[in-house]
Amino acid sequence: MSKPIIEVTGLSKKFRIGKQYADLRQTIGEFFSGSKSDKLEIWALKDINFTVEEGDVLD
């Protein structure tokens, strides 16, 4: 087996749906205060791992 051309480990993508922020200051303020908002979080990808070897075809 040869060395992988592409190796991906722990790939995740989360979308937050709901509350919209008025500005950057409000977004940063919520982040540092640790307050929970009424947003729904949906994982599109969570902890995906894969490798692509030479000659592999991805569809």
**pLDDT tier at 44 (50, 70, 90 boundaries)?**
very high
Question: What's residue 16's pLDDT?
Answer: 80
Q: Which amino acid is at 23?
A: D
CB of 12 within 8 A of CB of 45? Answer: yes
CB of 44 within 8 A of CB of 11? Answer: no
Token couple for 57: 């075809």
DSSP secondary structure letter of residue 3: P
Question: What's residue 32's pLDDT?
Answer: 86
Domain coordinates of the chain in residue numbers?
Answer: 6-52
**pLDDT tens-digit map of 12-42:** 999 888 766 567 887 788 778 876 666 788 9
Distance CA 23, CA 3 (A): 46
Question: What's residue 35's pLDDT?
Answer: 66
